[in-house]
Amino acid sequence: MRNYFNLPAATTCSLLMFFSACNSHIYVPNTVNEPLLKEKHEFKGSVSPTNFQAAFAVSNNIAIMANGQYVYDLGINIDDEESDDLFMDENTRGGVIEGAVGFFKPLDLKKRMVFDVYAGYGNGSFKTLSDDYSSSLGTVNDYLLRSHFNKFFIQPGIGFAHPAIEAAFTSRFSIVKFNNLYAGAKAFENQPDRRVNYLNIGTKTLPFYEPAFTFRAGYKYVKFQMQLMFSLLLNDEAYAGYEFNEYFLPVAFGMGVSVNIAHWYDDFRKKKKE
């Protein structure tokens, strides 16, 4: 049996985490793209083992972004051993592609603090195994769970941007509509109620609140990036009788490299010499 962090409804507001068993994640939130752009024609991109992101300022206040995710190195595990990864169902594979348009604006004269808000759309899919799978019971396809989904999101954020350090808090609100849900013939074989609950995910439009804390450190064009994000199903009281939370990864932690091409770095250095 596999154990992971879970955030049930009773403790959503306090963000308490504890171990929860029997999760099969068909939705893994991708890294929040928080570019903290400051000026026209600035470009910022980032890459990590499972995410890539890019943002470009087409004017002094308007920007576009593109995001991609593919969980690929945590593929189907046919062993019966427990997972040591607290943030990921090791059997999950899949991802999402997103595009967005946004508004950004520096908040102070020195342009250290930046506010931005982006709205976008994404499309993706994931597959995993039901938690009753065992390599001695049958083939992987018999226990396969697969989902496809469309996603709309809006993400306001605020952060501090300096040539050496950047830090930001972003609130992403996502509306996810699942479709074409699939469960293998033996998935939930002795648990018909859970099978019905799983398939009922496709009958609901699910709202998620996905706050993220992003930190970057380095200098000028290249920085180390890390992000901690929570994914909380909102208003789950409205889904009484459906055990939805176990299918959605509640905590994500990522690390990667961020690249920023901007003129304001040179302007910052000139002003520092004056």
In angstroms, what CA-CA distances link 246 with 50, 94, 95, 161? 22, 17, 18, 37
Question: Residue 89 — pLDDT band, cuts 50, 70, 90?
Answer: low
Cα 183 to the center of its chain, rounded Å: 24
Q: How high is the pLDDT of residue 4? A: 31
The residues pairing with 45 across neighbouring beta strands, listed in sequence order, are 54, 259
- What is the pLDDT averaged over residues 186-209? 87
- What is the pLDDT averaged over residues 181-201? 86
Contacts of 226 (CB under 8 A, 6+ apart): 214, 215, 253, 254, 255, 256
Distance between CA atoms of residues 133 and 22, nearest Å = 11
The residue range of the domain holding 70 is 42-271
Tell whether the model's pLDDT for residue 246 goes beyond 90: no
Tell whether the model's pLDDT for residue 18 goes beyond 80: no
Residue 130 inside a domain? The answer is yes
Q: How high is the pLDDT of residue 207? A: 94
pLDDT in tens, 35-79: 999 999 999 999 999 999 999 999 999 999 999 999 875 444 434
- What is the pLDDT averaged over residues 7-33? 58
Q: Are 253 and 228 in contact (CB under 8 A)?
A: yes
In angstroms, what CA-CA distances link 201 with 41, 121, 125, 197? 42, 20, 14, 7
Q: Output the domain CATH number for residue 51.
A: 2.40.128
- Does the pTM of the predicted model rise above 0.85? no
Closest CA to 174 of 55, 8, 57, 32: 32
Q: Are 116 and 161 in contact (CB under 8 A)?
A: no
CB count, 10 Å around CB of 58? 11
Q: How high is the pLDDT of residue 267? A: 61
Residue 222 inside a domain? The answer is yes
Residue 29 inside a domain? The answer is no
Q: Are 37 and 124 in contact (CB under 8 A)?
A: no
- What is the pLDDT averaged over residues 175-203? 88
Question: Residue 262 — pLDDT band, cuts 50, 70, 90?
Answer: confident
Percentage with pLDDT > 70 across the chain: 76
Q: Are 205 and 239 in contact (CB under 8 A)?
A: no
Distance between CA atoms of residues 239 and 107, nearest Å = 40
Q: Are 129 and 148 in contact (CB under 8 A)?
A: no
Residue 259 inside a domain? The answer is yes
Residue 248 inside a domain? The answer is yes
Residue 31 inside a domain? The answer is no
Residue 22 inside a domain? The answer is no
Q: Give how many domains the chain has, as a whole number.
A: 1
Pairing of the two strands 232-233 and 165-183: unpaired
Residue 14 inside a domain? The answer is no
